[in-house]
Amino acid sequence: MKTALSCFNRFNLLAGLLALGLLGLAGCSDKPSGAAPEAAAKPASAPAAGAAPVSVSTVRAQQRDLPVLLTATGTVTPLTSVDVKAQVTSVVVKVLIKEGQFVKAGELMFTLDARTDEANLAKARAQLAKDNAALADARRQLARSQDLFAQKFVSQGAVDTSQAQVDALAATINADQAAIDAAMVSLSYDRITAPHAGRAGQVVVYPGSVVQANVTPLVTITQLSPIGVAYSLPQRNLTDALGALKGGGAAVTAKLADGGGSFQGRLQFVDNLVDASSGSVKAKAVFDNADNKLWPGAFVQVSQTINVLKGAVIVPEAALIQGARGTVLYTLVDGVAVSKPVKVEYAQGLDAAVSGIAAGDVVVVDGKQNVRPGVRLVERAATADKDAQKTPAAANASGADTSKPAAP
């Protein structure tokens, strides 16, 4: 009985202590609620009172014309490239060119066995001489028949027969002349000349080689100057490219991938079909290539001026800040940072054409990561920055202040 009573007293004691603890917690949590809203109402981006100014470098927005460049990867393609083949089946007699040689249009490159064609030409000429003699005799017979008809010794029928014989032999003469022309054409096939000026490729036949008509390739002649560069235009730039094509062709710059130089050309061709799979249009530019540095099949970086933004406001692209709400930049107004939303019209290299600010505005470039709206700014001295880069140890030792107050 005593044991049960002792346990009951202990339970009552623990319950009382627990109740006192809960009352204490409730009293601690009973604080004024005005402090939290005041803290929440304070802007997170507002600068702290007495905060040190941020050192930045700035530039002024400029207003000038900015060319809109289209860049693409192009391939050097020859304007003409011909695989030279024999037009008759024969045997190669002479090879008059060397591999890699530059040839002129009409220059003799190969000769074939022409004995059969020369014999056919001689035969055709002999037949012409024979028929010419027969025609002369027929004309004399016609003249006699006409004299005898005038003396009424022969009938009109005899005269007509002589006239018909003369006409037939005249037609035969024309056929003989056509046969001679055909024989001369066949004979010309035995002398293979360059179809155009260019560079000869690999020669695959030698004297004594048998070539088949229109089958066996002899050499490839490729034109190197002028030469073309093929590339693709986005569909959105098609209108500008067609306009430039009507005006004599837009200027096109090509740069070799190995840094072999830059070349200037003109846009010459825009295809009449948009590729549905890529949304681009094939284009070709022509380059003089007098020094033969652009080689067929080489890859080049092509840049073409397709438009010019007149009077655009230009700022360094490094001054732009991409955020969730768009693109902004900081300007310096009366020594204080001001955030301004801008729209990027076009970016090229280190410059960007924007709208939303005016020409002459002071734009923050370096140090913008430490800037917030309303923060006081100081501009870095250009000379001090250069000296600090040259002798950083001396600058740190002297403790000199390399910043100057921002001009209002």
Which tens digits make up the pLDDT trace of 151-162?
A: 989 999 999 999
* Residue 1 pLDDT greater than 80, yes or no: no
- Angle 156-188/115-150 helices, nearest 10 degrees? 170
- At residue 145, the pLDDT reads 93
Options 1.20.1560.10, 3.40.50.970, 2.40.420.20, 3.40.50.150; which CATH number does 54-67+311-405 get?
Answer: 2.40.420.20
Task: Kindly state the DSSP code that residue 226 receives in the 8-state scheme.
Answer: S
- At residue 2, the pLDDT reads 42
- At residue 67, the pLDDT reads 84
Numbered ranges of CATH 2.40.50.100 in the chain: 85-109+194-222
Fold entry, domain 85-109+194-222 = OB fold (Dihydrolipoamide Acetyltransferase, E2P) (2.40.50)
CA distance 250 to 306: 7
> Which of 110-119, 230-239, 273-282, 369-378 holds the top average pLDDT?
110-119
Count of positions (residues) in the chain? 408
Cα–Cα distance list, 384 to 164, 168, 395, 404 (Å) = 112, 108, 9, 10
CA distance 6 to 93: 134
CA distance 168 to 135: 9
Q: Could you tell me the two tokens for 334?
A: 């009366």
DSSP E strand stretches across 317-350 = 321-323, 326-333, 336-348
Numbered ranges of CATH 1.10.287 in the chain: 114-189
Count of helix runs (H) and strand runs (E) in the chain: 7, 22
Helix (H, G, I), strand (E, B) or coil at 26: helix
Question: What is the average per-residue pLDDT within 30-47?
Answer: 44
**What number does CATH give the domain 114-189?**
1.10.287
- The strand pairing partners of 266, in sequence order, are 251, 286
Q: How confident is the model at residue 77 (pLDDT cuts 50, 70, 90)?
A: very high
Numbered ranges of CATH 2.40.30.170 in the chain: 69-79+224-309
Numbered ranges of CATH 2.40.420.20 in the chain: 54-67+311-405
- At residue 390, the pLDDT reads 42
Q: How confident is the model at residue 15 (pLDDT cuts 50, 70, 90)?
A: low
Cα–Cα distance list, 74 to 256, 286, 347 (Å) = 10, 12, 22
Cα–Cα distance list, 328 to 53, 95, 321 (Å) = 21, 71, 5
Question: What is the average per-residue pLDDT within 385-395?
Answer: 41
Neighbour-count burial for 187-197, b at 16+ CB within 10 Å, e otherwise: beebebebeeb
- At residue 30, the pLDDT reads 44
Per residue in 303-325, pLDDT tens?
888 778 889 999 999 999 988 88
- At residue 239, the pLDDT reads 84
- At residue 29, the pLDDT reads 43
Quick one: CATH architecture of 69-79+224-309? Answer: Beta Barrel (2.40)
348 against 74, higher pLDDT = 74
Per residue in 249-259, pLDDT tens?
678 999 997 77
- At residue 52, the pLDDT reads 83
* Residue 112 pLDDT greater than 50, yes or no: yes
Q: Could you tell me the two tokens for 172?
A: 């035969």
- The strand pairing partners of 227, in sequence order, are 287
